[in-house]
Structure 1
Amino acid sequence: MSRDIFFVSNSVDEIGGVTTWSHQMARLLADRGHRVHVIGIAPVEESLRQQFPADLPYKTTCLYDVRPPSPRALRGLKGKLNAAERRRQSARRAGMREQAEKLNALFRAAGPGAVVICTQVWAMEWVALADTKGLTVIGMSHESYEASHKSSRAARVRRHYKDVDRLLVLTPEDADLWIRSGMDNVGSMPNPLPFMPEAPAPREAKVVASVGRLAFEKGVDLLLDAWSEAAPLHPDWTLRIYGAGAEEATLRAYCTSLGLDDSVEWMGSTGDVLGALQGASVFAQASRAEGFPITLLEAMAAGVPPVAFDCAPGVREIVSHGEDGLLARLGNTIELAAHLDRLMSDREYRDRLGDTAFREVQRYSSADITDRWEALFAFLQR
């Protein structure tokens, strides 16, 4: 059955895994004959924008021309008497209702069986104002249960997703935690492989690759700490860091302070992740928090053995320690460095792990995951 499918996210083109996932799933579902529309709430700064082809096989829309102001709590009598802030919040709510009317127009034009997939809970604040009667609404959390509860997002997930047809998280372990905490509409859905090469990377270059946003939660500073331990043991190896973000200047300065400039290359953002990985022999990820990291899937699909912090259920669901990658305890940079050292020291070992990763990760093939999505649509429509 061909459906109208709306992906609603914070942004259409912000750098990050959720945006990458949204466009990947939009393309996969459009290839199956569905009418797909990717909707972003607000634009992002140019420096944080991903580049997408002009001829996408689906529609894209951004509701706001400029980012709306953030809400502020009006606490106590002083807050109630703050007339300027009350006017500001009233204008914000009016603007939200105006943008929700744009969603209504799109939703009313949808055919039977239409689905709204809200990929981020901030965006759900606008979807909740729209008329979704007759549509299937799926909410998503692309982070672990633990990471969500370390922020304000857990409370918003409970508030905005409690009545959707399904709340999807990324692993059965996280789904179970949400269910035990009182949410009764929770399921899980893993991310699909972004690509599946015919053969693993040659793993000949003495390069460790890292791919991701240069942001605090991605732990590039921790990776540099680990590299400062491993690099002196392997002076002929290089760490290549692919990515951009607000922390770049700070991270570069930290790299210099550690004396690593000769062994670290800052590659910037890349539109050819597979090419970057095929030029490496080891993949490193030092994230403080993750959901179901696409970069790990990409590395394993390329046949490059990963070293990562065991920071979330999604990481240990993807990587089997000692079989297709190596996991270190969260924040333990000495352990992460030891894993890097072992893979850099032993060509036979990294080839064995890389070849196993290449085989095992195929359980997340795009065809299989798309089948699961279509089956979920049909189930929820009944």
Structure 2
Amino acid sequence: MTGRDIFLVSNSVDELGGVTSWSHQMARLLTERGHRVHVIGITTPDDPHDLGELPYPTTRLYDGQPPGPGRARDASMRERATVLTGLFRAARPGAVVIVTQVWAMEWVKLADTAGLTVIGMSHESFEASKRSSRFQRVLRHYRDVDRMLVLTREDADLWIGAGLNNASFLPNAVPWLPDEPSPRTGKAVVSIGRLSDEKGVDMLLDTWSEVAPRHPDWALKVYGSGEDEEILRKQCTALGLDDSVVWMGRTGDVPGALRGGSVFALSSRSEGFPLALMEAMAMGVPCAAFDCAPGVHEIVHDGEDGLLAAPGNTGELARKLDLLMSDAGLRERMGEAARENIRRYGAREIAERWEALFAFLER
């Protein structure tokens, strides 16, 4: 069956972040395949990201944030859930609701989803979820959905072990496969991600302090913005790295950012299925990364198309970066292997797996 009604429900439609990017990527992909897609966000952030023209409708349940916990919030949740019910009831038979974040599921649960297929997603690793309040919420709110989806088989097995027998996995798609890779001539290591504790840029600076003296002609280009920017800049100065670290700010041109570098660094404390890592590989930029989640070693074949270090081991990450920075031939081989291997997550391949899942759950 083609041309389903598909609702993608997230915490927000227009905040900056991996899940929001994924939602719009999926919405475009499914729209191109003839489905009628509607993207729904619960809240509206203070600084909404400009989405430009979209080929599908979007709805925001709140013009800001919902009320704080208490009776007012409960009443407002029930009221806003009726908006969802109205949208869901107007859908054609075979419609699917994909809830991309468990917090958004609290509103979907209050809506009438009778006759619809409901898929709940977690975009982080099992371990990252277990360390947060989301773990109990996933167990509670996703217990009765038609399918609970994570990004790797390893994580799905762990959720099944925790009691979610409806758990399965489906990886993210790489958003583009460019014809032209990075020339890998720029003497720069590139990092792309939010400047927050989770992304571990503080550990990357510690790593860079070991590598930079050996490569005085190289720079570390840090793309991103976030709440930790000021403290990270102070750390950079304290480590004496101001001459070799360039703070690039947010970028809307990821391929361009990657073209300016020859190595990609991922220093996260936790990840789901890191998009920036996939994008670097698609551009043929070999990476050195902390193996901080199943998604990382699912994407990178260590020693073949990138190099992995034990989570948090800055000395080991420094050695991996040094290897790649010192050997142009190794960068070429790994960059080309990365470009080739990442094709298994091409948009068409992943979209077809989603179509197969919709058909299976409808039976």
TM-score by length of 1: 0.94
Q: Does 1:20 align with 2:21?
A: yes
Q: Deviations over 1:244-272 (max 9, x none)?
A: 11111111111111111111111111111
Q: Deviations over 1:62-107 (max 9, x none)?
A: 1101212343xxxxxxxxxxxxxxxxx0111001011101111111
Q: Deviations over 1:272-318 (max 9, x none)?
A: 10111111100001000001111110000000001110000000000
Alpha-carbon contact 2:67-2:76 (below 8 Å) kept: no
Structure 2 distance, partners of 1:255, 1:62, is: 39
Measured after TM superposition, the shift of residue 372 of structure 1 is 0.5
Structure 2 distance, partners of 1:70, 1:328, is: 41
From 210, 230, 241, the equivalent of 2:222 is 241
Structure 2 distance, partners of 1:240, 1:57, is: 34
Structure 1 distance, partners of 2:178, 2:110, is: 43
Partner SS for 2:44: coil
Q: How does 1:225-304 map to 2 (within 5 A)?
A: 225-304=206-285
Structure 2 distance, partners of 1:93, 1:171, is: 34
From 50, 57, 60, the equivalent of 2:55 is 57
From 67, 75, 89, the equivalent of 1:94 is 75
Structure 2 distance, partners of 1:269, 1:52, is: 15
Q: How does 1:1-382 map to 2 (within 5 A)?
A: 1-46=2-47, 49-53=48-52, 55-71=53-69, 89-382=70-363
Q: Which amino acid aligns with 1:216?
A: D
Aligned length in residues:
362
Structure 1 distance, partners of 2:5, 2:230, is: 43
Structure 1 distance, partners of 2:355, 2:96, is: 11
Partner SS for 2:123: coil
| Alpha-carbon distance change, 70 to 232 in structure 1, aligned in 2, over 3 angstroms | farther
Structure 2 distance, partners of 1:140, 1:181, is: 16
Q: Which amino acid aligns with 1:7?
A: L
Structure 2 distance, partners of 1:348, 1:34, is: 45
Q: Which amino acid aligns with 1:25?
A: M
Structure 1 distance, partners of 2:181, 2:203, is: 28
Measured after TM superposition, the shift of residue 45 of structure 1 is 2.4
| Alpha-carbon distance change, 37 to 321 in structure 1, aligned in 2, over 3 angstroms | same
Q: Deviations over 1:8-54 (max 9, x none)?
A: 000111111101111000000000111111111001121xx43322x
Measured after TM superposition, the shift of residue 199 of structure 1 is 3.2
Measured after TM superposition, the shift of residue 129 of structure 1 is 0.4
Q: Which amino acid aligns with 1:14?
A: E
Measured after TM superposition, the shift of residue 198 of structure 1 is 1.3
Structure 1 distance, partners of 2:68, 2:216, is: 48
Contiguous gaps of at least 5 residues in structure 1: 72-88
Alpha-carbon contact 1:15-1:213 (below 8 Å) kept: no
Measured after TM superposition, the shift of residue 56 of structure 1 is 0.5
Structure 2 distance, partners of 1:64, 1:45, is: 12
Q: Deviations over 1:175-213 (max 9, x none)?
A: 011112211101100000111011321100001101111
Structure 2 distance, partners of 1:24, 1:301, is: 16
Partner SS for 1:39: strand
Q: Deviations over 1:106-142 (max 9, x none)?
A: 1111111111000000000000000000000000000
Structure 1 distance, partners of 2:87, 2:176, is: 31
Structure 2 distance, partners of 1:29, 1:70, is: 35
| Alpha-carbon distance change, 105 to 164 in structure 1, aligned in 2, over 3 angstroms | same
Measured after TM superposition, the shift of residue 165 of structure 1 is 0.3
CA RMSD of the aligned region, Å?
0.8
Structure 2 distance, partners of 1:370, 1:38, is: 17
Partner SS for 1:177: helix
Partner SS for 1:41: strand
Alpha-carbon contact 2:119-2:147 (below 8 Å) kept: yes
Structure 2 distance, partners of 1:52, 1:265, is: 27
Q: Which amino acid aligns with 2:19?
A: V
Partner SS for 1:112: coil
Structure 1 distance, partners of 2:50, 2:337, is: 33
Structure 1 distance, partners of 2:286, 2:307, is: 8
TM-score by length of 2: 0.98
Structure 1 distance, partners of 2:46, 2:249, is: 17
Partner SS for 1:326: strand
Partner SS for 2:43: coil
Structure 1 distance, partners of 2:100, 2:134, is: 13
Runs of 4+ in 1 over 4 A off after TM superposition: none
Structure 1 distance, partners of 2:15, 2:220, is: 26
